[in-house]
């Protein structure tokens, strides 16, 4: 009998080209996604006079800087236009397929990869973006890298890495109605902290995870990085295979059947050892919102924001005080009394079709009390949502139905939350200034953002779902 292995052990072993005595290994990369922000790496390539080693395994997506409101034919801001153009030039110069601004496949890279069948179980996937952890939802080893590593992958299609530790987060039980993957992951991060999984690769397991749709798993793995883990993953199963089947770049016919056979072996063996185990009971999870400036500052919606005066630890009290000050909140305020100025539904975390359906289920026949933007995760998601009539629900509620891109999650395309404004957002980071200088972000699920739109304040979505099909 060979030693029982974890899913992550198997993924790692399948990609190891060389292992040095000092413990670092050279890993083969199956997919490399590049975006406008990869320009620094292409500059490094140019400086060395190097070529892209595997243009057929490298795919470009325009997402970070693309306009998501109004016409996309002309980009008014010349600096932003240059970022989009530079990606076009770099991918063209190296023979890399680009899902550019006008391409019907365009969208957020972490939505497009799975959607196009480029992201598959068993692959090693990298991208110069920390939310690359998303792709682990399909049973891939996927992680974000910096510009120097992007340059290294472009030149060699390999990467030197030290094997991270293994962590399993097991979630068992049935989720209550109105509870989404976002609530699960915020509950986990609140529990283990924003650096709780640093140095680890997370495997999400348990009956709750098995019951999640692919969209839910993508949300979960997306936010692994907010717990400090560079990668998160879910062992592939029937849900995965069904999702992957018949996508443009996925294997077809007998090749698909043989692939499913290989992918079915990508599960953690009984008795395999993890360096750390965390268990969560699904029945304990309620709708969660963040109140502070780190995703770990998350609480159930019926709670109140903390009071530094009740915090015995001086460093923690200082942290709470500064976070509350930035967020413009009085200690002890009930979360459900906090009024919001706008809402945003979008990002690689929560802008897939299921997310838009969940928000639309709350908003149907209702009006948003605050302005807001809905930015679908990809152009394909946008088309599907329009076929289902979801765009009408958002528009009728008074919200803006936009285009696909990173948009107001990071604001570098110019879609910003104004200084001092409070935004209920389906995104991944409530960092100071993340949605714009001085912007105040509250993270939550799409349904919870929709609920905040309906009432104009942070709200428990569950009563609003009563009698509705969700």
Partner 1 sequence: MDKFIRLTATACPLDVANLNTDQLLPARFLKVPRSAGLATALLHDLRFDADGRERPDFPLNRPHWRDAKIVVGARNFGCGSSREAAVYALCDYGIRCVIAPSFGDIFAGNAVQNGLLTALVSDDEAATLIGLLGEKPHPPLIVDLEQQTIQCGDQSFHFAIDPVRRTRLLNGWDNIALTESCLDKIAAFKMADRARRPWATPAEPE
| Among positions 152, 217, 342, 440, the unique one binding partner 1 when judged by CB under 8 A | 152
The nearer residue to partner 1, 36 or 391, going by C-beta atoms, is 36
The nearer residue to partner 1, 71 or 254, going by C-beta atoms, is 254
Coil, helix or strand at residue 143: strand
* Residue 265 CB, nearest approach to partner 1 (Å): 12
307 counts as binding partner 1 under rule CB under 8 A: no
| Among positions 128, 236, 346, 402, the unique one binding partner 1 when judged by CB under 8 A | 128
177 counts as binding partner 1 under rule CB under 8 A: no
* Residue 405 CB, nearest approach to partner 1 (Å): 14
Cβ contact 16:25 at 8 Å: yes
Q: Can you say how many angstroms the Cα of residue 60 is from the centroid of all Cα atoms in its chain?
A: 18
CA dist 62 and 56 (Å) reads 18
| Among positions 269, 431, 456, 462, the unique one binding partner 1 when judged by CB under 8 A | 431
Q: Can you say how many angstroms the Cα of residue 389 is from the centroid of all Cα atoms in its chain?
A: 25
**Contacts of partner 1 in 59-118 (CB under 8 A):** 79-80, 82-83, 116-118
* Residue 96 CB, nearest approach to partner 1 (Å): 12
144 counts as binding partner 1 under rule CB under 8 A: yes
* Residue 420 CB, nearest approach to partner 1 (Å): 10
* Assigned token pair, 21: 């005595």
| String of contacts with partner 1 for each residue 198-237, x by CB under 8 A | xx-------------------------x--xxx-------
The nearer residue to partner 1, 86 or 213, going by C-beta atoms, is 86
Residue located via tokens 């590593």: 149
The nearer residue to partner 1, 156 or 304, going by C-beta atoms, is 156
Residue 32 host element (H or E): strand 31-34
**Contacts of partner 1 in 331-390 (CB under 8 A):** none
313 counts as binding partner 1 under rule CB under 8 A: no
Q: How many residues interact with partner 1 (rule CB under 8 A)?
A: 82
* Residue 359 CB, nearest approach to partner 1 (Å): 25
* Residue 412 CB, nearest approach to partner 1 (Å): 5
**Contacts of partner 1 in 437-456 (CB under 8 A):** 437-438
* Residue 324 CB, nearest approach to partner 1 (Å): 14
Least Cα distance to 167 among 220, 229, 237 occurs for 229
Which of these segments, 175-183, 293-301, 370-378, 380-388, binds partner 1 (CB under 8 A)? 293-301
| Among positions 13, 18, 102, 283, the unique one binding partner 1 when judged by CB under 8 A | 18
The DSSP line for 417-466 is PPTT-EEEESSS---TTTTSTT-EEEE--HHHHHHHHHHSB---SGGGGT
* Residue 252 CB, nearest approach to partner 1 (Å): 6
Query: What's the residue count for the chain?
Result: 470
Q: Can you say how many angstroms the Cα of residue 292 is from the centroid of all Cα atoms in its chain?
A: 19
Which of these segments, 172-180, 233-241, 272-280, 311-319, binds partner 1 (CB under 8 A)? 311-319
Contacts for 359 with CB less than 8 Å, ≥ 6 apart: 345, 374, 394, 426, 446, 447, 449, 450
Cβ-in-10-Å burial (0-12, 13-18, 19+) of 151 comes to buried
* Residue 257 CB, nearest approach to partner 1 (Å): 10
* Residue 144 CB, nearest approach to partner 1 (Å): 4
Cβ contact 441:417 at 8 Å: yes
Beta strands in 237-284 (DSSP E): 276-281
- Give, in order, the Cα–Cα distances in Å from 18 to each of 14, 162, 205, 365: 11, 12, 30, 59
CA dist 416 and 425 (Å) reads 12
The nearer residue to partner 1, 240 or 455, going by C-beta atoms, is 240
* Residue 432 CB, nearest approach to partner 1 (Å): 6
Which of these segments, 191-199, 304-312, 362-370, 449-457, binds partner 1 (CB under 8 A)? 191-199
CA dist 82 and 399 (Å) reads 30
Contacts for 179 with CB less than 8 Å, ≥ 6 apart: 282, 285, 286, 287
| Among positions 68, 219, 294, 368, the unique one binding partner 1 when judged by CB under 8 A | 294
Tell how strand 24-28 and strand 200-205 pair up: unpaired
Which of these segments, 152-160, 335-343, 382-390, 457-465, binds partner 1 (CB under 8 A)? 152-160
């Amino acid at each position: 009998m060979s030693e029982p292995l974890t899913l992550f052990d198997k993924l790692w072993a399948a990609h190891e080209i060389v292992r040095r005595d000092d413990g670092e290994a050279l890993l083969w990369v199956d997919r490399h996604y590049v975006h406008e922000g990869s320009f620094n790496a292409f500059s490094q390539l140019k400086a060395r006079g190097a070529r892209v080693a595997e243009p057929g395994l490298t795919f470009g997506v325009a997402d970070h800087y693309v306009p998501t409101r109004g016409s996309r034919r002309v980009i008014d801001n010349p600096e932003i236009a240059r970022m989009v153009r530079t990606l076009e030039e770099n991918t063209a110069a190296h023979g890399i397929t680009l899902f550019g601004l006008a391409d019907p496949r365009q969208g957020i890279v972490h939505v497009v990869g799975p959607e196009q069948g480029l992201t598959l179980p068993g692959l090693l996937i990298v991208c110069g973006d920390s939310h690359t952890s998303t792709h682990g939802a399909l049973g891939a080893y996927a992680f974000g890298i910096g510009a120097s590593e992007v340059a290294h992958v472009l030149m060699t299609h390999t990467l030197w890495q030290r094997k991270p530790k293994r962590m399993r987060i097991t979630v068992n039980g049935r989720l209550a109605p109105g509870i989404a993957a976002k609530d699960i992951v915020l509950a986990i991060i609140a529990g283990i902290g924003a650096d709780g999984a640093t140095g680890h690769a997370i495997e999400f397991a348990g009956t709750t995870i098995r019951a999640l749709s692919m969209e839910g798993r993508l949300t979960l793995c997306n936010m692994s990085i907010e717990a400090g883990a560079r990668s998160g993953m879910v062992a592939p199963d029937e849900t995965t295979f069904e999702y992957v089947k018949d996508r443009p770049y996925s294997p077809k016919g007998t090749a698909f059947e043989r692939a499913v056979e290989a992918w079915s072996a990508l599960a953690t063996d009984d008795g395999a050892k993890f360096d750390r185990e965390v268990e969560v009971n699904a029945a304990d999870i309620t709708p969660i919102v963040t109140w502070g400036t780190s995703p770990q500052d998350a609480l159930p919606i019926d709670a109140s924001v903390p009071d530094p005066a009740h915090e015995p630890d001086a460093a923690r009290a200082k942290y709470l005080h500064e976070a509350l000050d930035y967020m413009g909140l009085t200690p002890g305020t009930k979360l459900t009394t906090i009024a919001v100025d706008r809402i945003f539904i979008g990002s690689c975390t929560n802008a897939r079709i299921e997310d838009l359906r969940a928000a639309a289920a709350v908003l149907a026949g209702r009006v948003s009390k605050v302005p807001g933007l809905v930015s679908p995760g990809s152009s394909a998601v946008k088309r599907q949502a329009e076929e289902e009539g979801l765009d009408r629900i958002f528009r009728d509620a008074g919200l803006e139905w936009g285009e696909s891109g990173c948009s107001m999650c990071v604001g570098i395309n110019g879609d910003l939350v104004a200084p001092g404004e409070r935004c209920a957002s389906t995104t991944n980071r409530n960092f100071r200034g993340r949605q714009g200088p001085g912007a105040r972000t509250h993270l939550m699920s799409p349904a919870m953002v929709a609920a905040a739109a309906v009432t104009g304040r942070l709200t428990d979505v569950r009563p609003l779902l009563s009698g509705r099909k969700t």
